[in-house]
Structure 1
Amino acid sequence: MDTFTPDLDGFSGVISIRRDDEVVGEWAVGLADRTAGVANTPGTRFGLASGTKTFTAITLLSLVADGLLSLDDAARALLGDDLPLIADDVTIDHLLTHTSGIGDYLDEEVDALASLSIPAQRLDSTPAYLPMLEGFPAKFTAGERFSYCNGGYVVLAVLAERAAGAPFARLVADRVFAPAGMTSSGFPRSDLLPTGTATGYKDDGRTNVFELPVVGSGDGGAHSTVADLHRFWRALRAGRILPQELVPLALEPTTAEADDGMGYGRGVWLDDGDLVMAGGDHGVTAVSRHDPATGITVSGLANIEVRTFARTREVMQGIRERVGSAD
C-alpha cells in the first residue's frame, strides 16, 4: 500500500499510521528537549491534554461494569458537602456526556487557555483540585444541552476515587492501561518527566511547566505514545478493557452535533465514522483517530500548539482511499 505522506511543516512531534500489527507510516520531527537537543522519536511520550478524558470515561464505565457505580447515580451521593453548587440531579452520565450544565473552572466557551486559579505545583492529586472547582454557578439545567466541561471530568475523577477507594491515576493504570498493554502511558509529574518524554513548549519558547497542573486528573495530564494509543483502540473494541456489551456505551452518539459537525459519545468524539480522542493546551496538541471499518489508527502527538486535528483527518482520508483502492 502506498503511504499517504502528511504535511509536516512547522510540526514538532510524531504522526503515525498503524493498522493491526503493521506500522503503515510514521514520522518523527522536532525536538523533545530543546536544551539537551534530544529529538522526538516514534517512541517518545507526549502529553495528551484533554485526550485524557477518553481514559477517564472508560475508567468510569469499568467501575459501572463492576457495580461500583451506575450511570444514573447522582454525583451528590459521593460528593457529600463538597462542591455545593453542583445540582442534586446531576448524574454521572450527565458528566460523562458534557450535559451536566455545571459551572466550569476552565470554560472553553470563554477562554480555552485561561490561567489556573491555583499554583500549578499545588495540583498534585485529584483531591487537590477541589478548591479550584468551587464557586461556579450552573450554566443550565442538567440534561438540557451539550456544553464541553473540563471541570466535569475532574469531578468524575473525584467520584471514581471515592467509589473505588484508590487514586485516580492508579485506577486508570489498572483498568485501562494494563489491560490494553499500554506500557508507556501514565500520569507523570510535569516537573519530573521520565526519560523519553517530550517537554511541552509555548509559542514564546518557554516550557509549559507553570501553565498546567503538576499531576493530571480526569480532564487532562495523561501521557502516552502513538503505539500505545493504537493499542488502546484495539483493546477497547475487542472487549479487553470493558466487557464487550458495555463498549457501545462509550461509542454510541449521545449528542449528534456536539462541535464542528462531530458527535460525542462518552469520552469519545465521533467524526465521520472515526473514533477520536483529542486535546490541546499550552505546549500540547494530541489527536488519535481510529477507523473501525479498516482498523487504521492515525495519531498526531505534538509538544507545541500546532495544527494537528486537520492533519490527522487528512492523513486518515488519504490512507483510507488507498486501502479502498487496494481492496
Structure 2
Amino acid sequence: MELLREAVDEVAERTGFSGVVRLDRQGRTEFSVAYGFADRAHGIPNSPETLFATASGSKSFTALAVMALVERGTLDLATPARSLLGPDLPLVADDVTIELLLAHRSGIRDYLDEDALGDVSEYVMPVPVHELATTEQFLRVLGGCDAVFPADERFAYNNGGYVLLALLAERASGVGFHELVRSLVCEPAGMVDTSFLRSDELPGRAARGYLAVDGLRTNVLHLPVLGNGDGGIYSTAADLTAFWDAFFAGRIVSPERVAQMVQPRSVWAEGSRRYGLGFHLGATSDRVWLEGHDAGVSFVSQHLPSSSTTYTVVSNWSEGAWPVVDLLG
C-alpha cells in the first residue's frame, strides 16, 4: 500500500493535482491525502475535510431520491413525465417515463449536449447562471426537449433528463428537490457534510473550482449558481465512503431497489462501461462508480463490492482528477 501511496504522490506532483485522494478497503482507510489549494488567491490548502463540487457525480443522488419516492408510492418507474408536467415542456413525448429518464434512454433532446461541447471551460449555459437557482427556473432551458430518437431506442447520456427528474420529484412530492436529496439520501447515509451550495456564497471549507492547473480564474460564471438534478452537490471524500457503505447496506433504498439500480441497462458506445439507473457500471466487473466533469471540477468515486474497496479522487480544477484515476484503475 505504501508503494501505491508513493505512486499517487508522484502523479500528483507531476501533474499539479489539486484535490483529495482516498482509498478504503474492507472498512479500513488505507490513505486519505490532500494536495494543492482550495483557495489559491488566499493560499488556503485543500484538506481531507474540504468540500468539493462533484458535477455529474450527484446524478446518482437524484436517482436515489427518485427511487426513494418510488418505494414510498409517490412515483412509479412507469410514471409518464407528461402526467406531472401539465402544460409545461409540451415537446416531451407521452411515452417518456421515470425509468427511461433514469436510464438515459428517454430520447429527449439535451439542453447541454456533452457530445457537442468542446472545452468544458467554455461558457455554455444558455441563460445567465445566477437565474438557475431553483428547479422550476430550469424550465427556461428545458423548453427544447423534443425527441431526437424514439423513447427506449438506445442510450444517450442526458443532463436535461436528470433536471426533468428533479422537477417531476418536486411536483409529485410537493417538496423541493434539494430538500428531497437531503432528507432521502444524505441523512440516511450519514453524509453530514454533503449538500448543494451556491457558488457565489461558498463557505470557508469549500474549494473554489479552477479552470486551469494554475491561475486564479474560477468557474463561478460557468455553471448554475446552485446545482440541480444533473449535478453540483458538494461533498467530502469521507462522506462518499459513507455513501457507498449506506447504499449497499440498503439504508437509502432497499436492497431490492439497489439491485435494480446496478443492473446494467445499456452499454456506452465505446463499450468500456455500462449504465444502470443512475450509476456507471464496469463493462465486465462489478465496479460501480460516480463520475463528474465540468468547468473547475473532475471527480470519480468508485466501489468494488467483491473486494469491499472504495476510492475517491476529487479535484477542484477541470482536468485534475484523470491522471490519478488512471493510476488507480
Name the TM-score, length of structure 2 as normaliser: 0.92
What one-letter code is carried by the residue in structure 2 that aligns with 1:122?
E
**CA RMSD of superposed structures (Å):** 1.5
Alignment match, 1:150? 159
Q: Output the CA distance in 1 between the equivalents of 2:61 and 2:260.
A: 14
Aligned residue pairs: how many?
A: 316
Alignment match, 1:165? 174
1:192 and 1:79, CA in 2 relative to 1: closer, same or farther beyond 3 A?
Answer: same
Q: Output the CA distance in 2 between the equivalents of 1:13 and 1:52.
A: 18
**What's the CA shift string for 1:135-169, capped at 9, x where partnerless?**
24311000000000000000000000011111101
Task: Please give the secondary structure, in 2, of the residue aligned with 1:266.
Answer: coil
Alignment match, 2:60? 54
Q: Output the CA distance in 2 between the equivalents of 1:91 and 1:305.
A: 33
Q: Would you say 1:291 and 2:304 are equivalent positions?
A: yes
1:66 and 1:258, CA in 2 relative to 1: closer, same or farther beyond 3 A?
Answer: farther
Q: Would you say 1:227 and 2:238 are equivalent positions?
A: yes
Q: For 1:242, which of 253, 257, 265 is the aligned residue?
A: 253
**What's the CA shift string for 1:226-281, capped at 9, x where partnerless?**
11011111100000000122111111101134555100011110123211100110
Q: Output the CA distance in 2 between the equivalents of 1:162 and 1:309.
A: 37
Report if aligned partners of 1:122, 1:128 keep a CA contact under 8 Å in 2. yes
Q: Output the CA distance in 2 between the equivalents of 1:64 and 1:247.
A: 12
Q: Would you say 1:196 and 2:196 are equivalent positions?
A: no
What one-letter code is carried by the residue in structure 2 that aligns with 1:40?
N
Q: Would you say 1:100 and 2:109 are equivalent positions?
A: no
Task: Please give the secondary structure, in 2, of the residue aligned with 1:62.
Answer: helix
Task: Please give the secondary structure, in 2, of the residue aligned with 1:234.
Answer: helix
What one-letter code is carried by the residue in structure 2 that aligns with 1:58?
L
Q: Output the CA distance in 1 between the equivalents of 2:75 and 2:326.
A: 35
- State the shift of 1:313 in Å: 4.8
Alignment match, 2:295? 282
What one-letter code is carried by the residue in structure 2 that aligns with 1:200?
G
1:291-310 equivalence runs, <5 A = 291-309=304-322
Larger displacement relative to structure 2 (34-43 or 15-24): 15-24
Specify every segment of 5 or more residues in structure 2 that has no aligned partner in the other structure, as ranges: none
Report if aligned partners of 2:27, 2:308 keep a CA contact under 8 Å in 1. no
Name the TM-score, length of structure 1 as normaliser: 0.93
Q: Output the CA distance in 1 between the equivalents of 2:125 and 2:248.
A: 36
Q: Would you say 1:207 and 2:218 are equivalent positions?
A: yes
Q: Output the CA distance in 2 between the equivalents of 1:170 and 1:3.
A: 42
Larger displacement relative to structure 2 (113-122 or 223-232): 113-122
Alignment match, 1:252? 263
- State the shift of 1:314 in Å: 2.9
Report if aligned partners of 2:41, 2:216 keep a CA contact under 8 Å in 1. no
Specify every segment of 5 or more residues in structure 1 that has no aligned partner in the other structure, as ranges: 318-327
- Name the % identity: 44
